[in-house]
Amino acid sequence: MIVNILVGLGIALFGFVLQTGIAGTNRKIIGRLQKRHGPRWYQEYIDIFKLLSKRSVSHGWIFDFGVIMALGGIIGTAMFMPLTSNILAFENYDNFFIFVYLLAVGMLGMAMSASGSGNPWASIGVMRALTTMLAYEVPFMIVVLTIVKLSGTSSITGIQLFQQTAGNNWFLIALPLGGIVGFLSLMGMLGKKPFETYIAPAEIASGPMVEYGGKQLGMLFILHEISVFIEVSLFVHLFLGGASNIFEFIAKYFVVYTLANLISNVNGRFKIDQVVKFFYKWPLLMAVTQAIVAIYFGWVI
Amino acid sequence: MMNSINNVELVNNLVNKTIEVLKYEVIDKYQVAYEVEKRDVHHLLITLKSQGWKQLSYLSAVDWIADNEFEVVYILFNWDKPVHIQIRARIDRENPVMETILPIFPGAKYYEREVHEFFGIAFPGNPDYQKQLILEGWDDIPPLRKDFDPQAYSDKKFPKREYPQDYSVTDPKNQRKAKRDARKERATSLRGGKTQ
Amino acid sequence: MKSTKFTPRTILSNKEIDRKWWEIGDFFRRNSLWLLMYCTGCCAIELPPAMTSAYDMERLGMGPMATPRQADILLVSGYLSLKTLRRLIYTYEQMSEPRYVVGLGSCTINGGIYHDSHAVINQLDQYIPVDVYVAGCMPNTEAVMNGFVDLIEQIKLKKANGWKKYHKNFDWYKKNQLDSLGEVIVHDEFHQ
């Protein structure tokens, strides 16, 4: 049991280190894209440690407790994430729905803490975050349920193994429409540009994070990195056939995250109602079409 | 479409029919100015508003301190005819009161507050012309009056930076002279004159 | 004496440990300076070239931030009227420590071309402590970047102590603020 917990914490730590490094590399890539020199690749680490080294103010115990609860919830979620098809902390507990429920703990903690600050921008940001969540979850869930139906298991490892066995394809190729929907939902989850409505630094002053400074903001950055790790890993495992070894995982992870970032940087920002309309129009239609085609007609490439 | 000279003539006829004009000035072919009596301003504004000059572009004042008078200026704008109309009215400087034009142009509320703040002109009829708008907690005579000295106010209120040495580039005369002297002295010493 | 596993280590004093932690913290702080741009003056026009591909301040780890709580540097670009100075003091006191102030342009130094205005203050450092001034009307973008590099150097040499000065001489700063402003509290009819 203790070994399992240690392995789980190790996975969370690995996720943090990996995602922070890749995020820094991506900042460099984006800098080169905009014909700039760009920051150092380890800039994200410096930012986080700087934030942890600053003094900060408190707005009451809910404000402080919410941050810690959110960070704990996210680390707890990351502990269940399989890195490859055989590196896994808790055997048989890597069900997809565990992630759906546990991610909510982190989000709830952050919402609670942000509302505790009493800043109106924070309330607007939290409301927008929940609205965006409502928008992307519906098409994403339909696609994932299709995958669960086809592979006959809702365990992430099971889905990975199903895709890796001979004769079965990656779900990105087997369900092309579903793959597109999954990627769009991933962009929504990560808060990348067209769906960046709830951060929106120029519009609502970075939304839920508006009152955080110093140590609390540092913890929120760690939380953000780990939650990005969870979301991108879910996409890799569900649609890209998972990974049989750690290097394959890192390569796939890097490609998915960089692609999302590149798309993000050539886009403007939607308004919140446009986000909801968008997700309920094309992705939902594509997801339902994919589900009907795959389950009732059995046309899987 | 009418050309602009016709527009100016049209305005001229209209204004002359309505009230008695003290002074008339064509600034260019898009702007005309009328100086009228203080009591005629409201009547003229109502007439012009009904004829299409329905936007009050600006309301300000000028301090004619030598005449001991303020001049209130209303600038009207028409969306159909390219003519701006300025209406100027002189009021007494010692007791500056101008009836509000709020019933005619409701948007004048903030202009009147601003004019009151910067010139001290009272606008009876405007419920909150005395509220502060731009200057917060002002404690002197209104700042755009000509007898207000901004330099003195600034010196009194805001500390000046004191430089231990004058770095001005406009007064290097003494330095130049000293340099010239040094050069001359060195030249004489090189020529075999007096050494130091 | 050669130190071995068995020789007792010299125990560092608390002050020494504190100093070492500050040095580590300073490394992170000077390599990741986030700006809060208080762009009410004309010098703000020098910041777009400093941020984008011409001079690219992100390679120094600097970047714009949305709120005072998140930021490290308060960048005052140009003249401050009485009205904006009240908001500036609010903003400065909201920032989390250590915090630094950079003043751009001659308006923040001695009033610049507004030295005789009834509405514009003359010296910023009478009201809040300033770490780096960049002179010029307006300063070149090179000068602005040079100012940032100077600030980084000052943090390295532990000279950027403006926020400590503000704590130490709080009464003096408050007295100056009250003398010039009358009161610092903002009364705003549109937000009450």
What would the pLDDT profile of C22-35 be if each residue is shown by its tens digit?
888 889 988 888 99
Collect all residues with Cβ–Cβ distance below 8 Å to A77 and sequence separation of at least 6: A99, A102, A103, A105, A106, A226, A227, A230
In the predicted model, what is the mean pLDDT of residues B43-57?
Answer: 87
Q: Which residues of C touch A206 (CB under 8 A)?
A: 65-67, 70
- Name which of B135, B137, B158 is nearest C183 (Cβ-Cβ): B137
**Per-residue pLDDT reduced to its tens digit, C132-188:** 999 888 888 999 999 999 999 988 888 888 888 898 998 998 888 888 887 777 777
Cα dihedral sign for A19, A25, A31, A37? positive
Could you give the C-alpha distances from A196 to A125, A254, A273, A286, C130, in angstroms and in order? 11, 21, 12, 22, 35
Residue ranges of the domains in chain B? 4-163
A206/C58 Cβ within 8 A: no
Looking at residue A254, its pLDDT comes to 92
In-domain check, residue C3: no
Count other C-beta atoms under 10 Å from residue B43's C-beta: 13
Q: Is the pLDDT of residue B32 over 90?
A: no
Instruction: Please count the CA atoms within 13 angstroms of the CA of A196 that sit on its side-chain side.
Output: 20
Is B143 near chain C, with CB under 8 Å? Answer: yes
A and C touch with 3+ CB pairs <8 Å, answer yes
A118 touches chain C (CB under 8 A): no
User: CA–CA distance from A81 to each of A78, A103, A235, B159, C182 (Å)?
Assistant: 5, 12, 12, 63, 60
**Is the CB of B135 inside 8 Å of chain C's CB atoms?**
yes
Instruction: Tell me how far apart the alpha carbons of residues B33 and B17 are, in angstroms, rounded to a whole number.
Output: 16
Q: What's the domain count of chain C?
A: 1
Would an 8 Å CB–CB cutoff place C52 in contact with chain B?
A: no
Interface test with A, best of C56, C96, C145, C163 (most A CBs within 10 A): C96
Distance from CA of C29 to the nearest CA of B (A): 31
CA distance A221 to C105: 34
Alpha-carbon gap, residue B88 to B72, rounded angstroms: 6
Q: Where are the domains of chain A?
A: 2-296
Nearest to C93 by CA among C57, C135, C127, C58: C127
Q: Do C123 and B159 touch (CB under 8 A)?
A: yes
| Closest CB to A55 among C53, C59, C96 | C96
pLDDT at A255 > cutoff 90: yes
Per-residue pLDDT tens digits for C96-147 = 888 899 999 888 888 888 888 888 888 888 889 999 999 888 888 999 999 9
Cross-chain Cβ contact C98/A54 below 8 Å: yes
Task: Quote the pLDDT of residue B1.
Answer: 47
Chains A and B touch (3+ CB pairs under 8 A): no
Q: Which fold has domain B4-163?
A: Beta Polymerase; domain 2 (3.30.460)
C148 domain residue, yes or no: yes
C-alpha–C-alpha distance, residues A222 and A204, integer Å: 22
C181 touches chain B (CB under 8 A): yes
Q: What per-residue confidence (pLDDT) applies to A133?
A: 86
The residues facing A199 across adjacent strands are none
For an interface test with B, the pick among C116, C118, C188 (most B C-beta atoms closer than 10 Å) comes out as: C118
Query: Is C187 part of a structural domain of the chain?
Result: no
Query: Is B153 in Cβ contact with C183 (below 8 Å)?
Result: no
Segments forming the whole domain that contains residue C148: 19-181
The DSSP output letter for B161 is: P
Structural domain contains residue C5: no
Selecting from C28, C53, C59 the residue whose C-beta is nearest the C-beta of A35 gives: C53
Q: How many C-beta neighbours within 10 Å does residue C16 have?
A: 11
Tell me the average pLDDT across A59-77: 87
Res. B195: pLDDT tops 70: no
Give the residue from A76, A71, A80, A64 showing the smallest Cα distance to A107.
Answer: A71
Q: Are A227 and A133 in contact (CB under 8 A)?
A: no
Instruction: Please report, for residues A8, A135, A145, the alpha-carbon distance to residue A178 in angstroms, rounded to integers and kept in the order given.
Output: 30, 16, 11
For residue C123, give the CATH number of its domain. Answer: 3.40.50.12280
Query: Torsion angle, CA of C45/C50/C51/C54, rounded to 10 degrees?
Result: 120
Q: Report the residue count for chain C.
A: 192
Residue C189 lies in a domain: no
CB C27 within 8 A of CB C34: no
For B:53-72, CB contacts with C below 8 A are: none
Closest residue on chain B to C109 (Cα):
B161
Looking at the predicted structure, is the pLDDT value of residue B94 above 50? yes
